[in-house]
Amino acid sequence: MSDFSFWIILKNLIWATQWTVYLSLIAFVGGGIVGLILLFLRTSQVKWLEVPTKLYIEFFQGTPLLMQLFLFFFGVALFGIEVSPWMAAGLALTLWTSAFLTEIWRGCVEAIPKGQWEASGSLAMSYIEQMRYVILPQAMRIAIAPTVGFSVQVIKGTALASIIGFVELTKAGTMLNNATFRPFLVYALVALIYFCLCFPLSWFAKRLEGKLNVAR
């Protein structure tokens, strides 16, 4: 009997893990795209583009992710728009991720010596061309390690989506615990699965850091 429920629990948790993975991927890819756009605005030296970007970043970095999920899930409903947990979680996590990625990448862009901007500018290149051909190829090298490192935070952040009723790994754990009353087993398995998702990424990030820190 007990063996039977162990396999049932594990099977259900692994099934739910796919939604954690999907949500993480959406947040990371979507956040990456939005983050890249914000990065261009944030480093453009154009004040009316920079200030709203800064406010956006401050908002998403300065408030709990849980509050952002609530705002998207309950807040948007106030305007008469029906929001599914999927939509709310995907959107909130994407925007939250974009704010952090923008700041990580801005640091990498600012680490590129000023002379690179001056040399490319003196060759009549526009801001977008400078970013595209001179600054980003160099900044990317130093950005890879912290970006992969941050993806671990995104995966762990998806756990909060359980609170608005999105069935991913954590929510599945809660439901299974309610059914089996074996909290230690259930949550130990949940934690183990998260670890199996996150550890390879942090290991990879560490390795990249060592490798890419050796300048050409």
With contacts defined by CB under 8 A, name the span among 19-27, 50-58, 109-117, 176-184 that binds another protein.
109-117
Q: Does 110 bind another protein (CB under 8 A)?
A: no
115 contributes a contact to another protein by CB under 8 A: yes
Determine if 121 is a binding residue for another protein (CB under 8 A): yes
Q: State the minimum distance, in angstroms, from the CB of residue 145 to another protein.
A: 17
Which residue reads 């099977």 in tokens?
Answer: 11
Of 165, 21, 16, nearest to 88 by C-alpha is 165
Conformational region of residue 35, where left means phi above 0, alpha means psi within -120 to 50, and beta covers everything else: alpha
d(CA 41, CA 21): 30
DSSP letter at 46 equals -
| Piece of 12-20, 30-38, 48-56, 122-130 that binds another protein (CB under 8 A) | 122-130
Q: How far apart are CA 152 and CA 135, in angstroms?
A: 26
Please, which residue, 11 or 132, has the CB nearer to another protein?
Answer: 132
In the numeric block, which tokens belong to residue 27?
């947040």
* Among 143, 42, 168, residue whose Cα is nearest residue 93: 168
Q: Minimum distance from CB of 123 to another protein (Å)?
A: 4
Cα dist from 102 to 10, 14, 118, 163, 211, whole Å: 37, 32, 23, 27, 23
Asked if residue 154 lies in contact with residue 24, where contact means CB atoms within 8 angstroms, the answer is: yes
Q: Pick from 5, 116, 174, 177: which binds another protein (CB under 8 A)? A: 116
Q: Would you count residue 214 as binding another protein (CB under 8 A)?
A: no
Q: Judged by CB, which is closer to another protein: 141, or 182?
A: 141
Closer of 103 and 129 to another protein (Cβ): 129
Min dist CB 137 to another protein, Å, is: 5
Total residues binding another protein (CB under 8 A): 19
Tell me the per-residue interface mask from 123 to 152 with another protein, x by CB under 8 A, - otherwise: xxxx--x---xx--xx--x-----------
Residue closer to another protein by CB (options 89, 139) is: 139
